Structure formats: structure tokens, C-alpha cells
Structure 1
Amino acid sequence: MTDWDADGVRARVRAMAAADPRLERFGADTHRYALAAPLPETEIRAFEERHGIALPAEYRAFVAEVGDGPAGPDHGLMPLAVPRPEAGDDWAVDGEWEDDRRPGRLAAAFPLAEPRPGAIGADTEALTPGTLMLGELGCGMYVRLILNGPRAGEIWMLDPDWGGFTPVHRGFRDWYTAWLEQE
């Protein structure tokens, strides 16, 4: 299923914001419970064509029906099409966002057949082709969406210091819905 109850998601995000007016929940001070407008189909298709990919259906439907971030798990959902307004600050996630959009990077084959647990060090460049960074947890940890191969559509967490690069959710819907359902 790819259709989202956009009104239901927006209502839940508003309820989460009302329950956390001081933005004390982890990451809320970054995303501020704001949802950008959905992206037009022409913009999504142009992104896919420019990068030679087809976005996984659950994520594609979300940005088309609900919004292009930022309200979401951890420090929020990164936008697909345009950088955050404060891009260029010294926040490391902006560099990750830009790196993903280098020619050929998203369309490259995802290099792992199996998860890679444990410390992997600072050189993560070879592990992340064919993935799209969805968000940041802090301390150099990122949530990434696998774009191609047998693991396409899965959500993996990249924790180079301790956890490695491992799956955390079967798909975007599971990942985002788990955040919406948190108390």
C-alpha cells in the first residue's frame, strides 16, 4: 500500500506539536513539527530522471501526498528536492544531502548484500551509493533509504562508530509510522 492518509498524518503531527510546545522531544527543536507542502508529480519525476532512479513507492507517495519533510523521526525528514533554508550552515547533514545528489550516486548499485554490523570507521563513502539519506540522529549517524537491488525500499541506519550499517525498518511507511505512534 502506498497511499497515505495525508490529513491523518498532518493531524497527528499537529497533536504531537501541541503535546510538546517546548520542543523537548528528541529532534523537535530541529524539525519543529512542520510539514512542507507535498511535491508536485512533475518535480518528483524530474528528480528521478535527473538521478536515473525510481524512488521506492512508500517514500515517493509520502512526498507526493503528505509533504517533503521536515517533521519526522530524530532530527526530521530531509527534503528530497531542495536543500533546507539554512543549508550552508555548519551542520554535517547538509554535506550528506549534497553528496547524495552528485551525478550517478543515487543510481549506483547498493554495495552491500548483507548488513555490516560493528564499527566501520569514518570512511562510509563506499557503503552508501544507491541510498538516500533521510535523516540524522546526531554524532555522525544517519538513516538511509536503499534505492536499488534486493534491499530496495528498506531503511538502514549508518552508525560508523558502533553499530555499522544495518536495517532498522522494512520500509519508509514502517519507519515514519513508528515515529507518529510514539507517545
Structure 2
Amino acid sequence: MESWDGDGVRARIREMAARDPGLARFGADTHRYELSPGLPEAEIRAFEESHGIGLPVEYRSFVAEVGNGPAGPSHGLMPLTVSRPEADDEWAVDAEWREDRLPGRLAEPFPVTAPLPGRIGAPTDALTRGTVTLAEQGCGIFTRLVLNGPRAGQVWQIDPDWGGFVPVSPGFRAWYTDWLESP
């Protein structure tokens, strides 16, 4: 398993929060630079087994060693799992999040073989199978992690109205680290 420096990530997030007390950075007013505790191995394994998948190592180790969201790019990292019933009302548990967890959806093959720039004609549900939502950018734009197939581990952005469905990072670590290192 590819390990994260959880203490280092948390320290960097605290620095970011100290430099942005008014939460002016995009998405900060949503995630508030807060990081939930990491998930126990048993909970991650149960999620994988219930969905018939194996999570990409970089992401899996992050949710175990660093945190289960929300501090992160855009409006924050969506949680892998929600253990509290009242969390159903929280911002991170939206329609995309619920759709990802429909039976069999995550285990389906990722159907996109090449980037789809521009306006998307097909329903996005058909394109996003085999991916899990990482973050919402607003205006119907989402960042997704590919779970299976030749593009497994890559991070893609779907903007059905203007930007298409395109890769934005070779992996979760690069995507999240870019956010941590951005001014």
C-alpha cells in the first residue's frame, strides 16, 4: 500500500486554513479546511466487498491514513462512506454520491476509451459507470476517480455542458497534492 504522510497533510491543511480565515478560496466555505478521521480497514474492505471492487491504492490509503474528506479540491472531497444517518443531510451526500452507490454500478467497466471534449450528448449516467465521485466543482461539474479498466486510478472531470469528460490527473495522489501545493 502506498502510504501518505497524514500528519504532513493535516499540517498543510492547517496552514492553508490559517492563511484563509475568511474562507475566500474556492470551495473553502464548504469544506472549511476540516478533515474527518480516516476510515478503519474493516469499513474500507466492507465497502469494496459490497461493491465488488478494489479501490485504487492512492485513494484507499488516503481515506485510511489521512481522512474521509471533506478538506480538498473544489467543494471538498466527498466521503467514501457515511456512518451517521444524519449525514444524509450534509452537502457531501448528494445525488451523484447516492447514484455511485447503487448496486453493481461501481463494478461496471468504465465505458470511456478516450477523452470526450465539449458538450456531451449521452446521459452522464452511462459515461460515469465504474467511477466514484471525488468532488463537486459546482454547476454540474464533478471530479471522478476511475475504478477499473485501462484507465483505473486516473482522475477525470465531467462537465456535460461545456467541458466534456476528460482526464485531469494521472492519479489521486497527484490530484490531491496539486491542491495542497496550490497558493
Matches within 5 A, 1:134-145: 134-145=134-145
Identity of aligned residues (%): 68
The 1-side partners of 2:115 and 2:93 are apart by 23
Q: Which residue of 1 aligns with 2:57?
A: 57
Instruction: Give CA deviations for 1:140-165 in whole Å, capped at 9, x if unaligned.
Output: 00000000000000000000011100
Instruction: Give CA deviations for 1:92-119 in whole Å, capped at 9, x if unaligned.
Output: 9601000000000000010011111110
The 1-side partners of 2:32 and 2:87 are apart by 14
Output the aligned Cα RMSD: 1.7
Q: Which residue of 2 aligns with 1:26?
A: 26
Gaps in structure 2 of 5+ consecutive residues: none
Q: Does 1:87 align with 2:75?
A: no
* Secondary structure at the counterpart of residue 35 of structure 1: coil
Letter of the 1:129 counterpart: R
Q: Which residue of 1 aligns with 2:120?
A: 120
Q: Is the 8 A contact 1:83 1:97 kept in 2?
A: no
Task: After TM superposition, give the deviation of residue 2 of structure 1 in Å.
Answer: 1.6
The 1-side partners of 2:88 and 2:18 are apart by 27
Task: After TM superposition, give the deviation of residue 121 of structure 1 in Å.
Answer: 4.6
TM-score w.r.t. the length of structure 2 is 0.95
Q: Is the 8 A contact 1:137 1:143 kept in 2?
A: yes
Q: Is the 8 A contact 2:34 2:71 kept in 1?
A: yes
Matches within 5 A, 1:132-171: 132-171=132-171
Q: Which residue of 2 aligns with 1:6?
A: 6
The 2-side partners of 1:69 and 1:83 are apart by 13
Q: Is the 8 A contact 2:40 2:64 kept in 1?
A: yes
Q: Is the 8 A contact 1:155 1:169 kept in 2?
A: yes
Letter of the 2:60 counterpart: R
Letter of the 1:149 counterpart: G
Q: Which residue of 2 aligns with 1:35?
A: 35
Letter of the 2:31 counterpart: H
Change (3 A) 1:93 1:37: closer
Task: After TM superposition, give the deviation of residue 7 of structure 1 in Å.
Answer: 0.3
The 2-side partners of 1:122 and 1:83 are apart by 34
The 1-side partners of 2:73 and 2:53 are apart by 24
The 2-side partners of 1:49 and 1:168 are apart by 28
Gaps in structure 1 of 5+ consecutive residues: none
* Secondary structure at the counterpart of residue 126 of structure 2: coil
Aligned residue-pair number: 182
Letter of the 2:19 counterpart: A
Q: Which residue of 1 aligns with 2:76?
A: 76
Q: Is the 8 A contact 1:93 1:136 kept in 2?
A: no
TM-score w.r.t. the length of structure 1 is 0.95
